[in-house]
Structure 1
Amino acid sequence: MKMLHTMIRVGNLDESINFYCDVLGMKLLRKKDYPGGKFTLAFVGYGDEKDNTVIELTHNWDTDSYDLGNGFGHVALGVDDIYGTCEKIRELGGKISREPGPMKHGTTVIAFVEDPNGYKIELIQMKKDTV
């Protein structure tokens, strides 16, 4: 088995695509309208779907916003320079909801950013390989 994607529902598809692509550096991999169901699916990620797990952005045409609920946690992204990444996200208009620093009760350096819909994206400082 292989993890393929995580799906989140979004109120404004263009705004969400811009955030994931322009702010977080993903690529729009594919996008398709389904007129019979009145929804659009857009898949974004850091590489081809056959080799990478991606995010499916689902936009129901007649829904502008969603209650995020309390079951969904976050999407996590590994980054090489968490402080530089957060600064760039801030410069591009992204909202940093938790500044970079060690996680509580641990040493892993993390930060959180929110997408335009309020979904949490955790940034995790990747550990340098030691030889």
Structure 2
Amino acid sequence: MTDPGRYKLNHSMLRVKDPKESVKFYEFLGMKLVNRIESPEAKFDLYFLGYDSPKAASHANHWTDREGLIELTHNYGTEDDPTYKITNGNSDPYKGFGHVAISVDNIQAACQRLEDAGYKFQKRLTDGRMRSIAFALDPDGYWVEIIPQKPAESTESIKESDLTTYRMNHTMIRVKDIKKSLEFYRDVMGMTLKRTSKNEGAKFDLYFLGYGPPPSGSSPSGVSAVADQEGLLELTYNYGTEVDPDFKYHDGNAEPQGFGHICVSVDDLDAACSRWEEKNVNWKKRLTDGRMKDIAFILDPDGYWIEIVQNEKLKTRTKW
């Protein structure tokens, strides 16, 4: 048997050009390297980063028993290739993946710290109408949204930010048909809809899903009700895309590449895959395909890849 209530949205994978620069950036945001998998025979390395201070949501857990990790994938030689460049998912005709989001205790101090360190922004707090969020740029140009855990006005006079309180809150992907995507992520993947943000004037809606119960109670103005959580998935739906038969988002794995996948860790890998087999999911890779018998990949309605791995705390399978 398998229980989707025990699943975790474990990580989001991003391809990077230079792992030294990328690891440095995410460590500057307070993350720690919690696992590294080297594959010299296949000429790639994987770096798993997440929040791991005593205040973190999953401090000291096995890397498969966490939510909100970022996996950086480095293919050997890209750092020395002047022509290599990822697509960040936010420029036509390659829109699809949007961003990862970090929630912080003090958004003014957090953004000032990034700016003082020389990191660039897609949107500063003072840009545009939305003064409660910012978008920093990582070394490859991926967007990193910065959102507050507390009302911005309550922290204006505070000059420091406590990195040990940060959370890797969510990963955003754009979806064509929100009804199909919500049905898939709730009924097939077993997630819970935790928050909805309707923006009819701008003709887009946001849906936040994750494992575990929805939040209880309300949140202060300007603060998401799920800002203190990790491992959420934000689905962005732009009105009308579902009626265009030719419309398609870029999955990040076709050229030019960038974002690779999200990953769900499960209580029992074989049982979970059997459940998904019964639900007739679209497989990119079954457990029995290829040489790697400890991972599977499912395709969501837009063709985004979802990696499936065993939560090693719940059942030992692989010595990662």
Structure-1-length-normalised TM-score: 0.85
Secondary structure of the structure 2 residue equivalent to 1:100:
coil
- 1:27 maps to a residue whose letter is K
Q: Deviations over 1:70-112 (max 9, x none)?
A: 11100011111111100001112211221115985xx781110
Q: Does 1:117 align with 2:132?
A: no
Asked if the contact 1:108/1:125 (under 8 Å) is kept, the reply is no
Distance 2:128 2:35 in 1: 35
Q: Give the gaps of 5 or more residues in structure 1.
A: none
Distance 2:112 2:106 in 1: 10
Secondary structure of the structure 2 residue equivalent to 1:4:
strand
Asked if the contact 2:31/2:49 (under 8 Å) is kept, the reply is yes
Q: Does 1:66 align with 2:86?
A: yes
| CA shift for structure 1 position 117 | 0.1
Decide which moves more: 7-16 or 90-99.
90-99
* 2:24 paired residue among 18, 21, 34: 18
Superposed structure 1 runs of 4+ greater than 2 Å apart: 47-52, 62-65, 101-104, 127-130
Asked if the contact 2:106/2:150 (under 8 Å) is kept, the reply is no
Alignment of 1:1-131 (within 5 A): 1-22=7-28, 24-47=29-52, 48=61, 49=63, 50-63=65-78, 64-68=84-88, 69-100=94-125, 109-127=132-150
- 1:75 maps to a residue whose letter is V
Q: Deviations over 1:52-79 (max 9, x none)?
A: 3200000011334323331110001111
Percent identity between matched residues is 39
Given the superposition, is the C-alpha separation of residues 58 and 78 from structure 1 closer, same or farther in structure 2, using an over 3 Å criterion?
Answer: same
Secondary structure of the structure 1 residue equivalent to 2:27:
helix
Secondary structure of the structure 2 residue equivalent to 1:15:
helix
- 2:120 maps to a residue whose letter is K
Alignment RMSD: 2.2
Q: Deviations over 1:32-66 (max 9, x none)?
A: 22011100100111124323320000001133432
Structure (1 or 2) with the larger CA radius of gyration: 2
Asked if the contact 2:135/2:146 (under 8 Å) is kept, the reply is yes
Given the superposition, is the C-alpha separation of residues 103 and 80 from structure 1 closer, same or farther in structure 2, using an over 3 Å criterion?
Answer: farther
Q: Give the gaps of 5 or more residues in structure 2.
A: 1-6, 53-60, 79-83, 89-93, 152-218, 221-320
Secondary structure of the structure 1 residue equivalent to 2:17:
coil
Secondary structure of the structure 1 residue equivalent to 2:41:
coil
Asked if the contact 1:102/1:110 (under 8 Å) is kept, the reply is no
Decide which moves more: 74-83 or 61-70.
61-70
